[in-house]
C-alpha cells in the first residue's frame, strides 16, 4: 500500500470555558486528504479546492508537520522500525472546512497529514507523537502551537490538554450530544483573535472560569447534562471575542431559550456552536441561527451534527 485517503474532522476548540485546553471533534464538516508515499525525502502539497493556501510545504499546515516527521524519521532518535529506504509524502487536500471558520481547518490538515502518513509507515508513531508533529502546522497557521483542535482531531471525542509543555493529553468521556454550528461568512484570523485578548485577567474572573471548567469536566464524565449547561459560561475570552461576531448575543440567548444546553464561540470564531440533548432541539437551534443571520443579512452556513468519537479516519 502506498496511498491512503483519510477524513479529517472539524473541531470545536475551547468549549466556551476551556480556553486552550478543551476541544471536541465533529462528524461534520470534514476534509478529505489523499497521501501517497514517494521515494524521495520531501513533501509535495497539492490543493484541490482553490483555497489560497501556501504550496511551499514549510509554510503549509499539512506540510510543516510532515517535514517534522521526516526529520525525526531520518534523525538519530527516530523509531526503531522506521523504513530503511528514503520516503516522502505527496498530499492532496480537498478542503471542506473553510480556513478562518473557527472549526479547526488548519488542525484538520495537520492532523490528517500525520495520521495518513503514519498509516502508510505501518503506524510506527504514537498518537501523542502525531500531536507533537501536527503542532508545527498550527505554528505555521497562527504563530502559536495550540493543541486544542489537533488533539480532538487525532483522538476523537472531547479531549483535555492538561499541559502543552510537557504534552499531557487526557481523553474526557462525554455523553451523546447534538451539536449545531453556524458559520457566518466573515473571516476572523486566529492570530487577530489572540491579539485582542488581555495578557492579564482578574483573579476573581479566573476563579469563576476554573469553577466552570471543573464543572464542565465533571458534567461530561458524570453525564450530567444540566451541569454541562450551567458550566458553559466564559467570563474571560467570550466578552472580548464575541464583539467580533455579529449577532452573537442574540443567537446565544435565543438558542438557550429554545432548549440548547449552552454554547459559544467555536475556537476563535466566527463560528458559533450550541450543544443540545436531542436532535429536534439541535434542529430548532439551527433554525434560530438561520433566522437571525438572514435578518441581519449575513451569509452563513449551518451544520447539525454529533461528536466524532474516532478522529481522523482512514477511508481507503
Task: State the minimum distance, in angstroms, from the CB of residue 243 to its own copies.
Answer: 18
Q: Which residues, 6+ apart, have CB-to-CB distance to 230 below 8 Å? A: 215, 219, 262
Is 198 a binding residue for its own copies by CB under 8 A? The answer is: yes
Binding mask 18-47 for its own copies (x = CB under 8 A): xxxxx-------------------------
- The angle formed by the CA atoms of residues 215, 217 and 222, to the nearest 5 degrees, is 90
Query: Using the rule CB under 8 A, which residue among 46, 144, 201, 314 binds its own copies?
Result: 201
Between 47 and 159, CB nearer to its own copies = 159
- For β-strands 43-47 and 22-38, DSSP reports them as unpaired
Applying CB under 8 A, the span of 53-61, 105-113, 198-206, 253-261 interacting with its own copies comes to 198-206
d(CA 213, CA 88): 41
Is 210 a binding residue for its own copies by CB under 8 A? The answer is: yes
Task: State the minimum distance, in angstroms, from the CB of residue 273 to its own copies.
Answer: 19
How far is residue 228 from each of residues 4, 38, 147, measured CA to CA in Å?
A: 38, 47, 22
Query: Using the rule CB under 8 A, which residue among 65, 137, 184, 215 binds its own copies?
Result: 215
Task: State the minimum distance, in angstroms, from the CB of residue 161 to its own copies.
Answer: 7
Q: How far separated are the first and last CA of the chain, in Å rounded?
A: 10
- For β-strands 168-172 and 88-94, DSSP reports them as unpaired
Residues classed as catalytic? 138, 190
Task: State the minimum distance, in angstroms, from the CB of residue 22 to its own copies.
Answer: 7
How far is residue 259 from each of residues 188, 225, 226, 284, 291, measured CA to CA in Å?
A: 28, 12, 11, 9, 16
d(CA 175, CA 157): 10
Is 196 a binding residue for its own copies by CB under 8 A? The answer is: no
Whose cell is 491512503? That residue is 4
If DSSP codes are grouped into helix, strand and coil, which group holds residue 239?
A: helix
Is 144 a binding residue for its own copies by CB under 8 A? The answer is: no
Query: Using the rule CB under 8 A, which residue among 50, 80, 85, 199 binds its own copies?
Result: 199
Query: Using the rule CB under 8 A, which residue among 58, 144, 221, 243 binds its own copies?
Result: 221
Task: State the minimum distance, in angstroms, from the CB of residue 18 to its own copies.
Answer: 7
- 298 Rama class: left (phi>0) / alpha (psi -120 to 50) / beta: beta
Binding mask 147-186 for its own copies (x = CB under 8 A): -------------xxxx----x-x-x--------------
Q: Which residues, 6+ apart, have CB-to-CB distance to 202 below 8 Å? A: none
Provide the 10 A C-beta neighbour count for residue 37.
Answer: 17
Between 149 and 231, CB nearer to its own copies = 231
Is 268 a binding residue for its own copies by CB under 8 A? The answer is: no
Is 240 a binding residue for its own copies by CB under 8 A? The answer is: no
Query: Using the rule CB under 8 A, which residue among 46, 197, 296, 314 binds its own copies?
Result: 197
d(CA 148, CA 76): 30
Residues that bind its own copies (CB under 8 A): 17-22, 160-163, 168, 170, 172, 197-204, 206-218, 221-222, 227, 230-231, 236
Amino acid at each position: 500500500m502506498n496511498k491512503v485517503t483519510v477524513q479529517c474532522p472539524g473541531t470545536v476548540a475551547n468549549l466556551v470555558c476551556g480556553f486552550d485546553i478543551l476541544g471536541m471533534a465533529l462528524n461534520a464538516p470534514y476534509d478529505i486528504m489523499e497521501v501517497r508515499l514517494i521515494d524521495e525525502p520531501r513533501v509535495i502539497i497539492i490543493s484541490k479546492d482553490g483555497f489560497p493556501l501556501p504550496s511551499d510545504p514549510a509554510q503549509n499546515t499539512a506540510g510543516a508537520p510532515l517535514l517534522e516527521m521526516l526529520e525525526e524519521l531520518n534523525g538519530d532518535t527516530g523509531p526503531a522500525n522506521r523504513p530503511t529506504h528514503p520516503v516522502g509524502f505527496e498530499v492532496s487536500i480537498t478542503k471542506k472546512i473553510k480556513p478562518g471558520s473557527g472549526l479547526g481547518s488548519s488542525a484538520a490538515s495537520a492532523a490528517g497529514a500525520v495520521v495518513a502518513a503514519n498509516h502508510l509507515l505501518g503506524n510506527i508513531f504514537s498518537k501523542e507523537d502525531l500531536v507533537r508533529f501536527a503542532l508545527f502546522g498550527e505554528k505555521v497557521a497562527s504563530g502559536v502551537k495550540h493543541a486544542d483542535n489537533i488533539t480532538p482531531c487525532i483522538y476523537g471525542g472531547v479531549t483535555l490538554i492538561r499541559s502543552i509543555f510537557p504534552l499531557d493529553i487526557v481523553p474526557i468521556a462525554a455523553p451523546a450530544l447534538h451539536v449545531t454550528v453556524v458559520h457566518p461568512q466573515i473571516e476572523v484570523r486566529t492570530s487577530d483573535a489572540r491579539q485582542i485578548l488581555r495578557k492579564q485577567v482578574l483573579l476573581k474572573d479566573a476563579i469563576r472560569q476554573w469553577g466552570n471548567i471543573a464543572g464542565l469536566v465533571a458534567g461530561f464524565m458524570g453525564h450530567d447534562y444540566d451541569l454541562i449547561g450551567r458550566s458553559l459560561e466564559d467570563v474571560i475570552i467570550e466578552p472580548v471575542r464575541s464583539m467580533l461576531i455579529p449577532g452573537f448575543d442574540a443567537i446565544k440567548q435565543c438558542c438557550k431559550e429554545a432548549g440548547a444546553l449552552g454554547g459559544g464561540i467555536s475556537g476563535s470564531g466566527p463560528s458559533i456552536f450550541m450543544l443540545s440533548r436531542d436532535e429536534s432541539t439541535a434542529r430548532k437551534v439551527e433554525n434560530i441561527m438561520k433566522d437571525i443571520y438572514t435578518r441581519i443579512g449575513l451569509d452563513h452556513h449551518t451544520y447539525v451534527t454529533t461528536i466524532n468519537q474516532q478522529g481522523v479516519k482512514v477511508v481507503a
